[in-house]
Amino acid sequence: MRRVDAMNRDSFRQRQKILDVVRNIPPGQTASYGEVARRAGLPGRARWVARVLADNDDTLTPWHRVLRSDGRIVFPVGSASFIEQLKRLQAEGVSLQGDRVRKPPKTLDQWLWEAKS
């Protein structure tokens, strides 16, 4: 088998793995590109995850549950993709503040503070 063939095969498997991971994100939950990459066994390759999702046309893949590491939607605010993703997230009951997904509370104080304001 040629080296190139082996490379293409691995590349294909990795793409599948990435898509599997994304499909396994439960509704109402989100993950960052970096997390998806790690779960797919490809630590440090967030950019590739992004590319795979961009190329992917499978409507069953919940691409909208994938956000940046800081919890924000990657697209420019107001763009068609942004609005679409926001809509899908809200439909699943994901709590958002603007373009940012509310992070899981780290401390009780922080949580209370947010609730107060």
Applying CB under 7 A, which residues contact DNA? 11, 32-35, 44-51, 53-54, 56, 63, 66, 68-70, 74-75, 81
Q: List all residues 6 or more positions away from 89 whose beta carbon is below 8 Å from its beta carbon.
A: 30, 64, 65, 96, 101
| CB atoms near residue 82 (< 10 Å) | 15
CA angle, residues 90, 103, 109, in degrees to nearest 5: 130
